[in-house]
Chains A and B, each alone.
Chain A
Amino acid sequence: MKRIVVPLAVASVLASACGHPLIPAAELKPHPVVTKARVPYLSTPLVSYTVKKPVLGVDLYAPQNYSPAMTAVFGLRTLTYIKTVLHAKAVGIVWDFFSPSRRTNVVKATNKGTLTAADVITLTKIAKGLGLQVEYRPLIFIPSYKVNPWEGLLNPPNQAKFFANYFSVLWPYIKAAQKLHINEFVAQTEMHLLNGSRLWKSFFRKVGKTYHGVVSYAAFMRDYFMLKGHLLPVRLYGMDMYRALKLKVGATQAQVTRAWEAQFRNVPAAVLKRTALDEEGIAARAGAYLLPPNLGHPGRLNQLVQARWFTAACKTVAHYHMRAVYFFKVNLADNPAEPSKALSVFEGRKGAVAISACAKLFG
């Protein structure tokens, strides 16, 4: 047998030593990271949609609950800033719900941490008074996981119960959305481990029975880009773009824009034009291109990093005729006249200038 097996082994090694016959040389090079982005597949047929001018939006984030009076005061201050300084046309009102752990069916509003529906209504009325379009976008935090309280890792043991709970805490906000005729209800954000759930369809339908505007969701970027991810059954899509880009601190605006646009190159145009960037943020920090989601990461201030990132986001949205971009974030309690020194903040920095320049770009 050796007389057969040995020649065969040698033959196979020799054959493979030929390299990669009949494969074009260009295909043998490792694919650059940007081309690894795959197109998500659609779980439902696309509904017809006419491209409109992109909307410039800013997320107004309430990390905790405030009294109605404080909410009104803070809201008027920050929304005026968003409207008059940043020249945004829309505001995304963002607040928190909470789950006690990742493996739980519970999702709840807390007195201390969750902005009440009444307060959201107050903010909505102020925003509308200023002529801003309004989007609602709740988040879920898991405070017991201090290192990563992200909702993307929520994996409830009984999904039906979880969805029922989630709908019940959302219910007053959904009613408010319908009552005030807001422009869009982003019913969930980045629920990565639940992205494959079949219950989303009925959930969105249930939301849509009360709120008759646009019901969408903000997809986790990997679920949006990856081959094995997929888009949930909604008419219009959203996603949070925090993908790390291999850019040097001193990358030019053209380089940053090119890298941004490359991320979406493989996404079908029909999907792109139905997509809004619901959350788009980065710290004004050297090296933040490599770690965009970590807004609280310590480091050296570099305003250009943030400004170029924001400008690139705007140009990408315009280039692909996407629906909107919402920059994350202005905190409800912020005083834009005396902005915080935290690196995550863009108020009073070149990032804010970049956002306002976006308004001109979108026209």
Chain B
Amino acid sequence: MTTIAVQPDQQAQGQGGQNRRGLTAAMVAGLFIVVLAAGTALRLWKLGTSPAWQWDEAVYWRVAVNVQHGMLAEHPLIGVSWTPFLYQPPFYALLLAGWFDLTGATIFHARVLGVISIALVFTAAFRLLWKIHGPKVALFAIIPVIFDGWLIYIQRVSYIENVLLLIIVIAFLLYQRALERPSWHRFALAGVALACAAIFKQTGAYGIFAVLLCWLIVRRAHKGHLVLLGVAVAVIAAYIVAMHRMYDLPGRPWFTEQSLVQLRRVLGLQQSGGTLGSPSALLHLLAAQYRYFVPSVLVGLSALVVAVRRLAQCYRARNWLPARPNALLFSWMAAGVAIFGFSSLKFPQYFALILVPAYCYLWTEVARWDWRRAWKAAVPVVAVVASVGCFALTVPAYTYNTLQLTQQYAQDHIPPNAVVVTEQSIGDLINQPWCTVEYPAPCLAAASYAITWSTYLQSSFTQGHAAFHQLMQGAVAVKSFSGPVGTATIWKLEGT
């Protein structure tokens, strides 16, 4: 465990990042800061108006606001016993609530926290690339990642994944440090960080699978890896024990039930609205709602092709040597593709967890190719120009804020005591008492309004309970807001 192991590319670059062609490490760092500032500025540009509020943002916003008031819950439902919000671990809600205490409780402020997290993600990712491939390759690779159109778009939304990604990148940074200078406590620390990712959001567990794959490829520091896995398992177990004791009350096992719901959704045993169910649905979305991100798709597919090519080389060689120089990034990307590919949940924000490692892998591979310097520079430049150009188109295209307009309408035109039947996110945005379309029974006699939501992937009318359809008989649409994210329609009910 004391052997110093340095990756081949790092040896080529020389210790300490010295560059013989004139760019010093300090200059590279300075250039990175400029690039990062530009990337962050792009993410902050018109952040309050574009993109329109996304589905999950409203939920996280409401939970965080309630946490500020001492309650870990969404907007309580009529006729349903109070339940805490534990579908996701509570850490993001706690973080967001703390942030709201400092700045103010709006979705805009939540987005600012996301952008700060992403700036830190890129800083950590840059450091990781630097450690693996040296400063010049790190700068070469990080620029197209920072300026990728899809990432700029999706990272402007206040998703949990923004912070999750930061924890994952820090975990890999610690893991890489442990690989370079193996010691049990470095591996243990990396294990703690990876476990933190898994308990920050369950999907973060894919980082552990990435490390397992990386271990398979590098085939060294076995004891260190065992320590890492042991510590990760211990931290996750401690979290589960603590959560079970805190949030599983007799007869009300909130934590266990909601965690199992998430597990069932991932395994496809339970349906969830708004997920991609088929390749044709993905193609449709790419051709319509997400047509601006074709450059990102092409870059992502290129990364996949490069990775598959590398996998084929490994197969021909009957060993992992061809993948070893870029083992961590390859493993990270492969774990992301495999885990999220097989998962039944395919939300747009999850792609960031695959695309960041995919882009890092692609551009670090490109940097090592034996191409003329001009070609090597031209490819990422084209990608950046195309991506940023397309992103610029999304800003005006995605400003129609359906959910915000719906919230405003409910505030202005629906009486505060009127009972509303609607979907989760809209229910969290409004202040009226409410029931869900999936379980409208408690509101059957009292509901006077319904707010339906429909997108290409989901509709209140397909997800609503049979009683909801009964409720909607004779309903009159009084207002409709239709934007690129979806269509919200406010209905006045006839009454049962």
Q: Are A and B genuine complex partners? A: yes
Residues of A within 8 A of B (CB): 1, 4-5, 8-9, 11-13, 15-16, 18-24, 27-28, 30-31, 35-36, 39, 41-46, 48, 266, 268-271, 273
| Chain B proximity of A21: nearest CB distance (Å) | 7
21 contacts between A and B (CB under 8 A): A5-B234, A8-B237, A8-B238, A12-B241, A16-B242, A19-B246, A20-B247, A21-B72, A22-B84, A28-B249, A35-B81, A39-B79, A39-B442, A42-B465, A43-B466, A45-B467, A45-B470, A48-B496, A266-B442, A268-B443, A268-B445
Q: In the complex the two chains form, what is the Cα distance from A32 to B245 in whole Å?
A: 22
Instruction: Return the CB mask of B227-243 against A: 1 if under 8 Å, else 0.
Output: 10011001101110110
Which residue of B has the minimal Cβ distance to A18?
A: B246
Contact A41:B465 (CB < 8 A) given known A4-B234, A8-B238: yes
**Given A30-B250, A266-B79: 4 more A-B contacts, CB < 8 Å:** A15-B242, A21-B72, A31-B251, A268-B442
- Chain A residues with Cβ below 8 Å from B443 are 268
Q: Are B441 and A39 in contact (CB under 8 A)?
A: yes
- Chain B residues with Cβ below 8 Å from A13 are 241-242
Contact A22:B241 (CB < 8 A) given known A27-B82, A41-B441, A45-B467: no
Of A12, A39, A266, A271, which one neighbours B238 at CB under 8 angstroms?
A12
- Chain A residues with Cβ below 8 Å from B241 are 12-13, 16
Of B70, B235, B245, B250, which one neighbours A16 at CB under 8 angstroms?
B245
Contact A20:B496 (CB < 8 A) given known A12-B241, A39-B441, A45-B467: no
| Chain B proximity of A200: nearest CB distance (Å) | 16
Which residue of B has the minimal Cβ distance to A44?
A: B466
Which residue of A has the minimal Cβ distance to B63?
A: A22
Q: How many residues of B contact A (CB 8 A)?
A: 42
- Chain B residues with Cβ below 8 Å from A16 are 241-242, 244-246
Which residue of A has the minimal Cβ distance to B84?
A: A23
Q: Are B246 and A269 in contact (CB under 8 A)?
A: no
Q: Are B231 and A4 in contact (CB under 8 A)?
A: yes
The reply to whether the CB of B446 lies closer than 8 angstroms to some CB of chain A is: yes
Q: Are B71 and A24 in contact (CB under 8 A)?
A: yes
- Chain A residues with Cβ below 8 Å from B465 are 41-42
Of B71, B239, B442, B446, which one neighbours A22 at CB under 8 angstroms?
B71
| Chain B proximity of A16: nearest CB distance (Å) | 3
- Chain B residues with Cβ below 8 Å from A23 are 71-72, 84, 247
Q: In the complex the two chains form, what is the Cα distance from A22 to B97 in whole Å?
A: 12
Which residue of B has the minimal Cβ distance to A269?
A: B445
- Chain A residues with Cβ below 8 Å from B72 are 21-23
- Chain A residues with Cβ below 8 Å from B252 are 31
Q: Are B79 and A268 in contact (CB under 8 A)?
A: yes
Q: In the complex the two chains form, what is the Cα distance from A9 to B249 in whole Å?
A: 21
Q: Are A45 and B238 in contact (CB under 8 A)?
A: no
- Chain A residues with Cβ below 8 Å from B445 are 268-270, 273
Q: Are A22 and B90 in contact (CB under 8 A)?
A: yes
Q: How many contacts A-B (CB < 8 Å)?
A: 101
- Chain A residues with Cβ below 8 Å from B90 are 22
Instruction: Return the CB mask of B418-442 against A: 1 if under 8 Å, else 0.
Output: 0000000000000000000001011
- Chain B residues with Cβ below 8 Å from A273 are 445
| Chain A proximity of B188: nearest CB distance (Å) | 6
Q: In the complex the two chains form, what is the Cα distance from A1 to B246 in whole Å?
A: 26
The reply to whether the CB of B469 lies closer than 8 angstroms to some CB of chain A is: yes
- Chain B residues with Cβ below 8 Å from A1 are 227, 230-231
The reply to whether the CB of B129 lies closer than 8 angstroms to some CB of chain A is: no
The reply to whether the CB of B444 lies closer than 8 angstroms to some CB of chain A is: yes
Of A18, A20, A42, which one neighbours B441 at CB under 8 angstroms?
A42
| Chain A proximity of B185: nearest CB distance (Å) | 9
Contact A269:B234 (CB < 8 A) given known A4-B188, A39-B79: no
- Chain B residues with Cβ below 8 Å from A35 are 81
Q: Are B234 and A268 in contact (CB under 8 A)?
A: no
- Chain A residues with Cβ below 8 Å from B250 are 30
The reply to whether the CB of B190 lies closer than 8 angstroms to some CB of chain A is: no
Of B188, B246, B446, which one neighbours A20 at CB under 8 angstroms?
B246
| Chain B proximity of A142: nearest CB distance (Å) | 33
Q: In the complex the two chains form, what is the Cα distance from A43 to B469 in whole Å?
A: 12
- Chain B residues with Cβ below 8 Å from A269 are 444-446
Q: Are B496 and A46 in contact (CB under 8 A)?
A: yes
Counting chain B CB atoms within 10 Å of each CB, which of A5, A23, A271 scores highest?
A23
Which residues of B217-233 have CB atoms within 8 Å of chain A's CB atoms?
227, 230-231
The reply to whether the CB of B67 lies closer than 8 angstroms to some CB of chain A is: yes
Q: Are B467 and A11 in contact (CB under 8 A)?
A: no
Q: Are B70 and A22 in contact (CB under 8 A)?
A: yes
- Chain A residues with Cβ below 8 Å from B231 are 1, 4
| Chain B proximity of A333: nearest CB distance (Å) | 43
| Chain B proximity of A73: nearest CB distance (Å) | 47
| Chain B proximity of A110: nearest CB distance (Å) | 40
- Chain B residues with Cβ below 8 Å from A19 are 246
Of A8, A11, A15, which one neighbours B246 at CB under 8 angstroms?
A15
Q: In the complex the two chains form, what is the Cα distance from A59 to B281 in whole Å?
A: 58
Which residue of B has the minimal Cβ distance to A27?
A: B82
- Chain A residues with Cβ below 8 Å from B238 are 8-9, 11-12
Q: In the complex the two chains form, what is the Cα distance from A24 to B25 in whole Å?
A: 54
- Chain A residues with Cβ below 8 Å from B251 are 30-31, 36
Which residue of A has the minimal Cβ distance to B496?
A: A270
- Chain B residues with Cβ below 8 Å from A21 are 72, 246
Q: In the complex the two chains form, what is the Cα distance from A282 to B132 in whole Å?
A: 80
- Chain A residues with Cβ below 8 Å from B235 are 8
Q: Are A42 and B246 in contact (CB under 8 A)?
A: no
